A and B are shown apart, each in its own frame.
Chain A
């Protein structure tokens, strides 16, 4: 089976940098994705890492180390609007579904 672990909550200050970690256990691997979800909203796709290394998209970056079964989402220059839940996700290699972690709730304080 597949499982992902990420912290349940992270708190940071506006303007700071925060890193949300994700470790996974899978029988195969097809890449790690990240989604953002504001309260009452739909999950929104942020990034995908299929290979090791860092992918950067504006203030957000995502990193993957396949040898360590580990990835992280890095948010820079935090803004209040970044307060949301962030989910890491992997595709189930034995089927067609994407498995999501339980989510990390990010609180950004002034």
Chain B
């Protein structure tokens, strides 16, 4: 696609429920990244994909968080048993390679109540 597309744009969920966040990167971009941004804060790295593999998962905050990427394209970030501290904007970005700038999606605003 023309840009990085994320869905849903907003998600309100009850504590303890599972959520899935989707990212559709720019066509042909092999690198895909997930970041998290709390209100007024910087960007916290979660995970990096090169193709379908994830060589860097070091930012996932707990085993409740997982992500996959299929066909070298769409990625899904899953949060199990959501907690209130998971509330944040989850941003996805893609790039042609590791160098150069990232193109970010508009994010998914997750609110856990």
Q: List the interface of chain A (C-beta within 8 A of B).
A: 30-31, 33, 35, 41-46, 48, 87, 91, 95-103
Contact = CB atoms under 8 A, between A and B. Distances in A.
Nearest to B54: A96
Interface residues of B, number: 26
8 contacts: A31-B99, A42-B4, A48-B101, A97-B58, A98-B33, A98-B102, A99-B45, A100-B42
Contacts of A96: 31, 48, 50, 55-56, 98
B106 interface: yes
B100 to A, nearest CB: 7
A43 B42 contact: no
Nearest to A97: B45
Contacts of B35: 100
B56 A33 contact: no
A70 to B, nearest CB: 19
B85 to A, nearest CB: 19
Given A43-B43, A97-B45, A99-B45, 5 more contacts: A48-B100, A87-B43, A96-B55, A97-B59, A103-B41
Given A42-B105, A45-B103, A95-B56, A100 B98 contact: no
